[in-house]
Structure formats: C-alpha cells, structure tokens
Chains A and B, each alone.
Chain A
C-alpha cells in the first residue's frame, strides 16, 4: 500500500550511460515532482507536472527529461550521465497546487551513483 514508490532504489552506472528512474503514486494526486538531494542533503526541485502538464522546469541540464504518461506516473530519464549527477533523487506528489491541497508526499528515493 505504498503511497509514492520509486524504482530502482539504488542505481550504479558508468559515465555516459542513459538511465531512467520511475515513480508511481497511488494517492489519486494530480501533481507530481522530482527533487535532487546532493551529498550535503540540500534538496532542490527539478520538475513538476500538474495533470500531466509541465509547470515547474528548473534550471537543470537538458540531459534530464521528465515524462508523465499519466497522472499517476512521472518518470525521469537522464542521458549521458556525469559524475556530478550522483545524488539521491526523490519523487513526490500532492493532491493539487492550492495551499489547502499542496502538501507533498515523498517517495523513498533513488540513490544514483555514477562511476
């Protein structure tokens, strides 16, 4: 009955590879997010989709591309992985965007290590 799930939990890969991280929420939420947490635990928003529409697209390399096939899924594809991409990536979802509905619920994270 996991609310927000991510796969894989751990991802170890070589520089230059392309990889994807999947996120699914079973909360019936309309809005989903991707965050990056660096080695110092700093948490920064990358993308957000509301009803499958991209609404937040922070300054991240265009090697990162989100894809939302439906409201319950938001996947993150990363091309040409670099050492600096090593981090923990968190998916989150919220019911909506209004202050009464914007509480975000986080997945367990995907620890990406680029060698």
Chain B
C-alpha cells in the first residue's frame, strides 16, 4: 500500500526566510509525487508534480520540490516566504502502473509565515 508522511503538523517561518515543508513517501516502484495547497475555506490548488527526470521540480508561486529517491522524500521549498504563503500544504503520491489511479494524501502541514 502506498502512503505519505508529513512529519510536521505546523511550520512557522519569518517572512523573507526560506521555507521547507517535509514529505516522505512509501510506494512500490517509481512514484509520482504531488504538492497541493489549500487556503482557508477553499479547495486544493495544484502546485507541482514529479513524474520522472530532473529531481528538482519547479511549480507555481515560486515553489519547488526536490525528489530524493534514496531518502524517499519530496520536500517542498521556497527561497523567500511571503505572508500570503500561509496555508495548508498537502503532499500526495500515486504508484506506477495502469492500475494505480489512486492518489494518497498526507495529513497536511500548516505553514504560517510571520510578518
């Protein structure tokens, strides 16, 4: 079974500082990995995904994520945090193969950017 762990319930960072939101995964075979963001009372918005190729994936709003196969991690990063980045961030994984349609989400990490 596939799973995702987001070890931090909450991450606090000062505006202008770099931010990292952690994610590790477990899946059979090569993973497909996603990051989504949820603003209060809104649906999830797609940020970025890793399928194959370059381990550093760039996404929306200046976010990027680094795929590390040996550590089974896919941490989300941004060089300089904005107050408007404050939201709930979800990592998700699906497995390879035609039958692996299901996206499994982590429990989410609340990011607070302090002015």
Contact = CB atoms under 8 A, between A and B. Distances in A.
Interface SS, B side: strand
A39 to B, nearest CB: 12
Nearest to A106: B43
A105 B103 contact: no
A100 B102 contact: no
B51 A99 contact: yes
B43 A90 contact: yes
Contacts of A106: 36, 43-45
Contacts of B42: 108-109
Interface residues of B, number: 24
B49 A103 contact: yes
Given A42-B107, A102-B94, 10 more contacts: A41-B88, A41-B107, A45-B102, A99-B32, A99-B94, A103-B34, A104-B103, A106-B36, A106-B44, A109-B43
Contacts of A109: 41-43
Interface of B: 32, 34, 36, 38, 41-46, 49, 51, 88, 90, 94, 96, 98, 101-105, 107-108
Interface string A15-55: 00000000000000000000000001111110010100001
The 8 closest A-B pairs by CB, nearest first: A106-B43, A106-B44, A43-B105, A108-B43, A99-B51, A99-B32, A41-B108, A109-B43
Interface of A: 4, 40-45, 48, 50, 55-56, 90, 92, 97, 99-100, 102-109
A108 to B, nearest CB: 5
A100 B51 contact: yes
A55 B103 CA distance: 13
B1 to A, nearest CB: 13
Nearest to A9: B41
B63 to A, nearest CB: 15
Contacts of A105: 46
19 contacts: A40-B107, A41-B88, A41-B107, A43-B44, A43-B108, A44-B105, A45-B102, A45-B104, A55-B101, A90-B44, A92-B44, A97-B101, A102-B32, A102-B101, A102-B103, A103-B49, A104-B44, A106-B44, A109-B43
